[in-house]
Each structure stands twice: as C-alpha cells, then as structure tokens.
Structure 1
C-alpha cells in the first residue's frame, strides 16, 4: 500500500498507482498502518533513528531568571523518558546539547571522555558544526558525561554579563548537525529575548500599538525578515522539527520567531515573566513534549471520491505544492484542517456515500519508515434541511476561525471581522430561504453566540493589556487546535462546584459564561484550555471553604498569586470534596496539550478583571459586545436571518 492511491469504481475501492493492488473501503471509517519499503525512504536508504538537540540560551536574562538552571536540572530527569514504542526497550533517540548567547557552544559528550568538552563557534554568519563524533550520542552510553555537563552549564555562565543573543544561527546549527548525522530530529530551543546581536536573522523591536486597528496592522503579524521562511524550508526538507520555549520579559517578535516552529510542525510555548517559584507550567509542558510519541519527516496526502475535492489546508506544516502536506514533525497535539469542496456530481452506485482517504508517510521514533492510512465514508443527502440538522457548529467555528486568523496576514482586522459576520449571516439566511420554519435546528442555534466569542477574542479584538506577542502567539496556537480545544478556548467551561455531588463521578452541569450566573455564595471553576480559574464568592459557606482551602472564612483564603499571576496549589485535604475537586483539575489538565495553571480568584480581588474577561457572553472592558448587544448591532445581517426564536436566548 502507498500514499499514491487512486479511487476507483465509485469510490468504494482504491488502487495503488505503483503496484496496482486494489483494496476495498469498509462502509464508515477505519485506519491501518504498514511498514514502508526502502522505495519510500529518502534517497532509497533506511532512515537513521531521530535525534533530539537541546539548545539553551545562556545570556544574562536567561541565567538571572533561573531558566537555565531549571531546564538543565529537568533534562537530567527526562533522559529516562525519551520516546520509545516499547517501554521495556531503551529509546533509540540520540541527544545533543548546545548553549548560546552571541556565540554558540557545542559540547562533546562522548562516553569515553572524563568530562564534557566545549567547542565555541563565534562566526555565526557562517555557521558550521565543529564536531560530529561525540555530539549526538546514546543516553545509555554517555549518561555520566551528559549529567556532568548539565550540572556545569549553570555554573559556567553564572557570572555572564552578555545580554545580546542570536536565534537563526541556532536553528541553522541544529539543522546542520542533523544533516551531518543523516537523520531527522527535533530541536528544543529555550530562548528569552529579541535576537538583536549581529547575525543572520537579526531583528528589531517593531511593536507599535499605533498600528493596531489600521490597515497596516497586518504587517505586525507577518515575519519581519524573509530569512526565517527560507530556513524553515530547509528544515522541512531534512525532517528537522523545531519546538520553541520562550521566556520573555518584553517584546521578542513571536510572529517572526514562530515561523520555523509553525512551518515544521513544531510548537511554541510562551511563559511571560518566568519565575523559578512558578515553574510548574513550563516543566510540565517540557516533560510532555519530550515524552510524547512523534513521527518525523512526514508527508500527508488527502484523496477523495468523485464529486468532492480537498481545496485548502490549515495548521502547522509546509506545502511546496497544492497536494502534499509536509511535516518535519507530527505529534498528537497537531491538527490539520482540510477544506473540501463539492463541485461535481457524486458517483452513481456509491451507496449514498462520499469517501475520503488520508495517507501519511513518516519515520517513527525507532527509525522505521511507515505508512498510516485513514479512510472515512460520509453519508450524503439531497435536502438542505437534512444538511443543517446534521452539521456541527463547533467544527464550523473551528474552520471559520482558522480561515479568519490566516486572513489577518493579508487583510485589515476590520475586514476579517466583517467577513466572519457575513459568512455567518449567509449560512443562516440560506437556511431561512430554503426551508419553511424560521427557527434554526438545535445544532445551529449556538452559531451566533460562538461567532461573537471569536470576534471578541484577543486576536481579533485585543484587550488593552494584550501585547502584540500574545496576539501572535494565540494566533498560531489556534491554527493547530482541534475542535474540542477551540470550543473551550472560545467558550470556556464554567462549572458551579458548590453544586458538585461528591458521591458520583459526574461533573456539575456547566452554566453560561455570564456574571449574572455567578452566585456570591458559590464556587466556580472556569477552564479556557490555557488557564484554570477558581472563583470564590464573598458569601461562600464556611463548610465549603473548609473543605477546599482548609480555612473557615473568606478573608483567610490566600490566593498565592502576585503581580505575575503565580499558580495556586490547592491544599491536599482528607475529605471527599477536596479529593474530587483536585481530581477534576487533574482530569482537565490531562485533556489539554498544554499545562493549565490554576489561579484562585476571590470576589472583588484585582485578578477578577482577568477572570471576567473570559465571561464571554458579557460586554468586556475593551469594547467587546455582549451577546445581546451583538445581535442588536447586527440586526440586519444576523438577527433577521435567525428569525423569531432562533437566537440563543
């Protein structure tokens, strides 16, 4: 089986373009995987196992914040948890280490050495890897030398006064190392500041809030220089995935720095005002990122039966043509959204179904070349009313958002917002025109409220304290979200915990995201997908406070957060309420690809302003419309199309 199959006989069967084998498509959905032959390997050679290269910023800001020490300490533990398919067998992933500021330091950690050796590359304009033997090594063979290195790095740079850093040469160095080793892999880059040192990819501070809301705003989301786009192309060709961990205290131009991670199927993690005391989020994200199963040097192709075709793709990847989605790295946290267009008659005799096939050719963490096939059969209908009854509003919003966020690179934000409203209005107007009832089907009633949430998002309607970097970060984050993630991101989950039944495993029924739904005597958990807030009403009962916080009075609750919103740790108490609440928090965290900090918010506390920002049905302090105001202000385009009783009331 190969990814170059063609559908035949009305879409029920597909045929390999090379070996001519024919496979029957089952009625609904299935997936399977094959080991690929050497014909599907790069240069007709069986691939080497991948490598992980850890590249740590050791400039003054990085050392002073404690980031260098924490990362080095954590990496010593994570050496035992490199990805592997068989937990009983050691990982085949090799590792290498680089530190950098204005120059790069490569480390020889060969097992025969008594201690690690540093090699410095100061000519960052003409980057090269100064050593091959001893740079990428097996952990089991070189553990003693590696641990010695990780212990020494914080000491070596403890007194540094170097404040300038490079960035593009760091990626180039990792790429060249993987090329020299003839393998795919991932770069883990831990970075703190805008790369202003004289080097390829040097950037300047272009944060200009005067451009927000103007036609020039789109330039702020475009990469500052073209160098990173070209570098990303080289990385994809080699199967070099880049994950970027940012620890900034000021503007770092995320829109530019994220180009290579996003294009290679990597991830960006951002921790503003990083503190050693509040490091849980960064460490948990790093642990998950290192351990998760991955595919490398992947190519994805989507094919369909007659009448349907794939026309557009959204996500973190690179495309050199219109059909092949190229991913230097592919993991469980990435979603590729595909737009299909119905532009021809469906095939006769297909049983009323349309077929889609997704084939992914990739290299596993063990170095095996594999082919994974996903097939899906979708029922077709001839009546528009049937289509509306079976559509999924969450999926529509996920697609519209990704389309809108990408449009921000070429269109003014106002144009993008208006386009979203018009698209929603067209959907509702089409239903009203083609069907007799004025009321929308149940699955579509929430479309206007979700649309308003998207329009009020910090990317399309930034809050006063939302930086350009935060907007760029959220924009690229949403581009790779699946439907469940984007749903809770735009419409957070609000649970009244004071109504929780500790005798069962069920969760309390969620309430609408509005301040009028909050009771002063209640306790509420709000999940956004990126944060968790525990809101405590001023009149909460003494028993409730005792069960959760171990204190009898509202005034005795210590939220434990300062100016930098440090995470709150719930006390471990021996009562059913405390156990279930902590279980819910951990359950929510396991459902999301990024660790969610828990912040306790006392009623009328200063942090309550941030909490209320996520009550998305209310008007926010930066001009974002409440749901009712949104409907009234778009009467002609939305409310009229919904019809009497069609809105979510």
Structure 2
C-alpha cells in the first residue's frame, strides 16, 4: 500500500540559487535563473568517444603453447581477457511520479533554502507531466501547512528569488514533506579540457547534429513508415541491405552467442564505420563477467577436453575454435571468424559438413553449438603445477584499531567462516595470520599447540621472516590452532598503546610468507602507515574544502605517490592479490555530547546510557557512518594495491565494532567463500577491422593486451571499449563483429581450465537500427560510468563535472528510444535510461558537491569499476518504501515462502510526510528516515521507545524488531528480505535518520527524481528536456570570472 501523497507539491526536492551565475541558453533559462539572460555557447568535442588507439596484439599471444611466435616464454600457455555481465533481469521500471493537479499553486520547498520555478514549456509534451507554476514567497509564507505536515518557512534566499505565479484566486491545498534547508553548495565549474578519453568538458552546442536529426516525433528512416505494412516491408528490405544480415539471421546469432550474464554489449548492432559511431554518440563497449553465476536452476558451463594434449586454435591469431567459424573442404579445414585465416582440421577432429556448411556433429560438441564453454587445459598451459588456495589474514592492532574494535571484529568474522568450512580448497587450502602496529607480529600455527606462539619483528625497514616453517599451514590440519589464535588476538592487544602502524611493511611481510604459493591477502587497516615502508605524505589544502567539505582538486582522486602501484605490480609477479578492508574510525563530534544514549564508560540500566529507557543498547562513542565524521585515509594513494592485484576495496567510514560487525562479517564471508579462480590471465580478441581501445577494471596489464589476475571471482567485472581499426581495415564481405574472451585460471579443486566466451554482433550502416538496439540500458550505463571516471581523473586542471558526456549520452538514449517501435515503448525506454542517467549525475561518484569527500569518491569509483551490472543499476536507481502506512499483507509470508514487500514509491520527497517513516535501499546500504510526527504506537511496536525524543539512531538500528510485536516482526522481515535480495556481494547496513538531523541529507541526496545542487532538474523536467534534445539545459551555469579567480580555477 502506498501512503497518501501531499497534494500540489512538485516532483522536485532541491533547486539551488545561483545569484551571480551566468545565464543559460536555449530558452530553458528564461524564468529559471534569476538574471534570465542568454549565455555564450561552448563548443563540444567527442563527448563519449574513446581515447587513442591501443597497441596491437602480438601475433602469437601468451595463450599459445610454448614456442608460439609473439608469446613470452615465461607466460607460455596463458591467455584470456576481461569478462562481465549479470544473469539477473532488468529491474522493473520505477513508478513514475505523476504530480496531481492542485487547486492552488504553491511554491516548492527544497533543502537548499532556495526555490527554482519550473521552466516555461514552449511545446506540449503529453508523455511527461508538467510542473505547475508556484506561488510567490509572500503568499507561501502566509499559507498554513494543513494536516501537520512538515513545511519549513522560507528564509532569505526565498525572499530574494524572482516571483512567478499563476494568475487567479488562491485555493486550499495539502502540503507534503520537503527536506529542511541546508547550506548552499556551489557547484564546481565545468572546465573545458580534452585528454586521452577524447572528452571536451563543457556545454554541448545546440543543433550540433549529434542526434543525426532523430528525436521524438521525427527521424530519417524510422518515422511513420512502420505503421503501414507496405512501407514497413520496403523499409525492412532496405534495412537488410544496409545491415548485411536478416532479422532471422540476427536471432540465430543470439542463440549461439555467450549468455549475457558473461558478455553483454552496450548495443546489439555495431556501427560499421568510425564516422557513424561518432555520429551516434553511443558508447560502444562490452561488459564482461567471465565467472558470473547463472543463478539457481541454470545449466552449468559445459566442460570439454580435446584429448591428445591439443587445443584447437587459429594458427595466426590464436582464437579458440567456436560456433562462428566456417568449414570448408568437407570439414578438413576451418576459417577463423576473427582473422579469416584457413586452418587445417586435426585428423581426430574431422567430421563431415551438411548442405548448409555446418558440421553434422555440431550439436554434440559444446564448442560448436554454445557461446560459452570450458576446456581442460593440457600441460602446455601450465608453468608450474596448480597451487592450492591460500589466504593470509593481516590485521591492524594499533591503538586506534583496538579502540574501534577492529581486531575483535575482523578475528570473529574470519573465525566464523573457517569454523563453518566456508573456504574453498578443502584439505588443500593454506592459511597464515599476521598482525601489526609499529612492528610486524608473526604467529606460529602448530597443530600440536593449544596456545598461539607470537614472534615480533620490530625492524620494519628491512622486514624478514622469523621462522622457516609453521607460518603458512594447511587450513584443515591446523584448524584448531588457527581458531585459537584468532580468538586470542583481541585479548593479546587489548591494552596496546602504540599509535604508529607499518601497513606497507606488513604487506611486504605477508607477501614474503606466501610468495612461493601465491593466493589472497586480506588486509584489515584503520589508518595509513606512519612508519616503515610505504609511508605516503599528502598535503591537504584546507582552503579548498579539506576533509568533510568536498575536495575540489582532482589531484586528490589520484595517488600522491606510485609506492603502492609499484608494490602491487611486485605482488602480481608472485600471484598475490590484496583485498583491503579499510576501517577509519570516527573522530569525536559535538553530536556525541548531545547523544542521550551516549555512554563513554559504564552505562545505564541493562547496558544502556545513563538515563536511557530500560533495555536500550549501549551506543558506541563514535559518530557512526556519516553521522559524525571519520579520519581521512587517502584512498587514492592506497587503492592501487587492490587495483593492480585484481583485489577488492571495501570502505567502512566511521568504523566501530558495534556499528559494522554484521556488515564486516557478511562481506568477509562472501570474499572467502565465493567461486574464485587462481593464477589467472585473460585476453579479449576482436575480428579484423576492430580493436580494443580502452580497458577498465582491476588488473595488471602486461604487454599490449594481457590482463594478469592473481585471483578472479564470480562478482568481478571488466569493461572494454571498441572502435574501428581503420589501419587494419575489414574485409569487404564482413557483416559481423566477433569478440572472444578467454580466461585461463586454476579452479579451487586444482584443475587448470580455459573458459571461452564468444559473441557475434551484426554490423549496420543504419543509424536508426543502431539506436534502436541499445541493449537494455545496463551495459550502456556501465560503459558510460567507466568513461566518466576516466574523464574525472584526467591529468591537469581541476575536478570537473561530467555534464558534457552525460548530456551526449542522454541525447543518444532519447534517440534510441525514438527509433524503437511501437511508440508506447519509446517513453518507457526513455524513462528507464533517463532515470539511470540522472542516477549517474546525482550519485556520490559524480555529483560535484561539498558533502562528498575524496575518499568516498575514490571508493565509489572503485565500486563502479568492478560491480556487476545489476549492482550498478540498483546503486544508481534505489528503491523507496513506506514502512508506516501498511495493510495486513506487507511483511507477511506468501504461500511460496517469500516476504511480501510494500509498494515501491517514486524517488521524490513529494510522497513524503512527517507522520511516516521511509526506507531507502541502493544495494549497499539502507536508510530509514523517520518523521517527527510519526505515531508513538509505531515507535513502541518497532523500536520499543515511547516517543520520538527517546529515539536514538544507533540504538534504534540495533533494537529494531526486538519488541516481538507483530508489527515489529513484520518490519524486521521486510529488512531481512531486502538484505537477502542484495546480499551478494554487499551487506546492506541499516542506518536510522531522524527528521531534522544533519545526517538526513544522505537520504535526500539519493532521491534522484528531485532537484539537487549539481543538477537542478526534477525527473519530469529532465526527461522533457532530453526528449526535446535541449541538452545545454543539463549544464549548470558557469561561475563568474571573479568567482573563478576566487576559487583558483
């Protein structure tokens, strides 16, 4: 059931006031910005184009057997490349906000203490609801907010705003909840710059031709002809001539292609020329997830063996035989679909072909009938015997870490997974345990000992191993010794007063322990190193924002030194990856003093704070994730350690054991238990006339195109961008682009395997067909995200908002929707892509506001670079639920055993009232916002508190559902069901946000249908402007010349 909506409120939620901003063009600024003038237009370049051409692949390639020309001798037999995708279906379209027509127009209220009247609509657009003009501030101040709904009085910025209202007598209307005022956040100035990514940051010139004359209601080849059978038949014949393949042939190709869970292109039609690609402004790339899980009930990837120690491959380009090769000479020869070379078929592999040129035994051979298969690798594909899965646990026990409870949380999380036998490898697996502060501590793990034996090495500048054995031991054989050591570590270091730590030297020590085997290092750290190897010094310029105020210089998004990049490359040579769990503790804040449950020592009744209600849990001294603040870690300098070793970065700001224990344990268990490949290498090959120009993900690139991956797992994704290779040239008869991804890895059971994924995509000269075949938005957005991340990290200049590329992407999405048929699908496709594009602009990774620190932005970059497609979509488009206006079904269990969830609401504050509570989830965290006027009965049933004044966020998050009331249990069931849906690979931590607290801005920043300072457009306004192709409206106004000088631009 959906809660009653406030009548007459706009779909917006946040509109900044730019008193000195230069005006915008194209008529959208008229009446939108105070000065109502027209700015100069800025030129644009290839907004979403690729960078410079990448180097050519060597003739042989490391995937070839030893002795193949062009293959490094040391890496003979290694071959592969990136992979990604998701098996989950595209989520249902979020309910679109349809504002009800009010009887009286009222000024919208937004968090920035500002208002922004909706732009005047010059042309009717029935598909998108229009915003009613607001009342002037004077009438708004005089009007009461009926129903007790929260409506703050406007402040000075409202009074100074232009007055625009509809003529006519005022009428009574309902008010809805709008976020409280916050301090104005000035957007960062878009700086025009070009770089390797081919970007030109700035405003797109209107009428530039980027849409190719295609938009809603028009088009060169996809207009009204589709409504008439005769015209449609003629258009289909012309399209087949342009594309080279019929519709039936294209459908047959999809049946042979690798599942989209493994390989998903951004478009299902490929432009046949570079000029067509640039004209369309569609990112041309592929998202790869080579070890993706296909879900329960799905068929597993077939495994084959060619026998005789051979693997059937092309003698020139080393492509593996696949379903798209062609056969000749009655099956005695086969033609490679990548390079076109004719290869001799080995005698044992020969089979006759039928009248259509297909092998008669194709259905019996997975490699000839499936797009994905695995080959049992022969001995030529190994440089050493397969090594066992190995894990090194490296834990920070310095004073800061102990005070936050990190050693106890890490040790209990690791011990829980080991005790449950969750680690792969069975009896083959190896494990080691190390801790560190200003020294490195080694633990002797002997099955005959009942108590751990500790060895301390204080010489961190020149680290060495104190023992030759019993440091890296078989997991099953020494399981009890490992568990005893993990249980003892928190007690051993409970009173540690050492504030220094030697993180870099500790990682070096862990590498020395495992370098002969390889494996995975799990690093738990609370702060950057202060002594020993790898100390990085970065000067934080407080005048430009500093910690907690949103750093403006994009130098903070890049490493201060190459120390950890070099260390990561060295670890890669030893086949070691590093998973980093970075847990900076919170620093004390003033809010802790006002905390009614805050208990720095001791506590009230039953462990609560003095004066707290009986049964209230003790609240940690930290400010909590985002409520207070946390120490800066400089993630940009240390994330390279995970980046270049194909590891993973997980970030827990404001860490304390009380707040993060459940999340840390669930995510450690996921890292240890998921399907993992060891000592892997990958490569992507494309057919002649094409090349891979950009590669994104976590890997170390060796040579021209070899991706070295010490470990690779089922959640890991990669993104590659493609472009025509004009120098190589395609054959005149080519009508397909073929792409093959090969991953050579060691399975956890000790078997060496080659996983192969192959797809073939039709080429087209028809721009309408190209735009109509945008996959489903997910791969499209994934490619766009990684290109924007590259743009923000270009050298020189300052951090710039990626409005130019996103504007071009939105235009291309609109054109793709306009080309689809029937017309009813156009609006849905446009809405779907429009919401996701808005999610990019308003996400913490890309929104240019002061509330996003450099550490958080780097973490978001890292997350988007490896997350699966489904995770990216959920992250950019969260779900909103009301938890108070329920019937009898919400939270109950249906006959199939599933918990019934409430109806999802539009992502706008228009639907919110202060008498309700709302839950927002984005796959990474859950935010529960509670209004001031929520029912005391609901609070008592769910949290066990008598009134809103006794509700404390940290205590409430721990006590939710503990009252054993029917409503409390149903609410807890909904929380658990959402966690089960999003469990892998992240655990969604629940945060309680009270109305009026500063922390509630975390909630409203995720309402992508409302206005934010970095994009002053609501969802309907955004979709309308995209539909009308008025792209300059997507850009915020430039700061004045005086403002630029003050800010140091």
Same fold (TM over 0.5): yes
Q: Is contact 2:550-2:850 (8 Å) kept? A: no
Residue 136 of structure 1 corresponds to which residue in structure 2?
472
Q: Is contact 1:514-1:615 (8 Å) kept? A: yes
Residue 220 of structure 1 corresponds to which residue in structure 2?
556
Find out whether 1:201 has 2:534 as its counterpart: yes
Aligned residues: 626
Change (3 A) 1:52 1:569: farther
Look up the SS of the partner of 2:859 in the other structure. helix
CA distance in 1, matches of 2:980, 2:950: 24
CA distance in 2, matches of 1:606, 1:416: 25
Of residues 953, 965, 979 in structure 2, which corresponds to 1:586?
A: 979
Q: CA RMSD in A?
A: 3.9
Change (3 A) 1:423 1:215: farther
CA distance in 1, matches of 2:523, 2:342: 40
Find out whether 1:526 has 2:920 as its counterpart: yes
Look up the SS of the partner of 1:319 in the other structure. strand
Deviations 1:438-462 (A, max 9, x none): 9956423444443333223323335
Look up the SS of the partner of 2:447 in the other structure. coil
Matches within 5 A, 1:173-572: 173-179=509-515, 182-197=516-531, 199-211=532-544, 217-249=553-585, 250-278=631-659, 279-342=661-724, 354-391=737-774, 392-411=776-795, 412=797, 415=800, 417-424=802-809, 427=812, 442-497=828-883, 498=885, 501-502=889-890, 504=894, 507-520=901-914, 522-537=916-931, 555=948, 558=951, 560-561=953-954, 569-571=960-962
CA distance in 1, matches of 2:959, 2:540: 32
Q: Is contact 2:931-2:994 (8 Å) kept? A: yes
Of residues 393, 400, 419 in structure 2, which corresponds to 1:80?
A: 419
Following superposition, the deviation at residue 359 of structure 1 comes to 0.9
Structure 1 unaligned regions, length at least 5: 644-649
CA distance in 1, matches of 2:909, 2:819: 38
Of residues 356, 371, 391 in structure 2, which corresponds to 1:52?
A: 391
- Report which stretch shifted further, 443-452 or 25-34: 25-34
Q: Is contact 1:311-1:338 (8 Å) kept? A: yes
State the structure with bigger RCO (CA 8 A, min sep 6), 1 or 2: 2
Look up the SS of the partner of 1:159 in the other structure. coil
CA distance in 1, matches of 2:744, 2:695: 17
Q: Is contact 1:47-1:369 (8 Å) kept? A: yes
Look up the SS of the partner of 1:140 in the other structure. coil
CA distance in 1, matches of 2:469, 2:343: 42
CA distance in 1, matches of 2:411, 2:584: 18
Structure 2 unaligned regions, length at least 5: 1-310, 327-334, 351-358, 586-630, 1032-1049
Change (3 A) 1:306 1:6: farther
Following superposition, the deviation at residue 499 of structure 1 comes to 5.9
CA distance in 1, matches of 2:342, 2:949: 69
CA distance in 1, matches of 2:386, 2:857: 39
CA distance in 1, matches of 2:552, 2:1021: 26
Q: Is contact 1:334-1:482 (8 Å) kept? A: yes
Residue 1017 of structure 2 corresponds to which residue in structure 1?
626
Following superposition, the deviation at residue 534 of structure 1 comes to 2.9
Look up the SS of the partner of 2:472 in the other structure. coil
Greater percentage in helix: 1
Deviations 1:6-49 (A, max 9, x none): 5754766999999977996879963222332222123xx21220
Change (3 A) 1:423 1:128: farther
CA distance in 1, matches of 2:906, 2:416: 42
Q: Is contact 2:747-2:753 (8 Å) kept? A: yes
Change (3 A) 1:315 1:13: closer
Look up the SS of the partner of 1:207 in the other structure. coil
Q: Is contact 2:413-2:664 (8 Å) kept? A: no
Report the TM-score, using the length of structure 2 for normalisation: 0.54
Change (3 A) 1:310 1:81: farther
CA distance in 1, matches of 2:445, 2:437: 21
Change (3 A) 1:385 1:507: farther
Max Rg structure: 2
Greater percentage in strand: 1
CA distance in 2, matches of 1:539, 1:382: 60
Q: Is contact 1:99-1:106 (8 Å) kept? A: yes
Report the TM-score, using the length of structure 1 for normalisation: 0.84
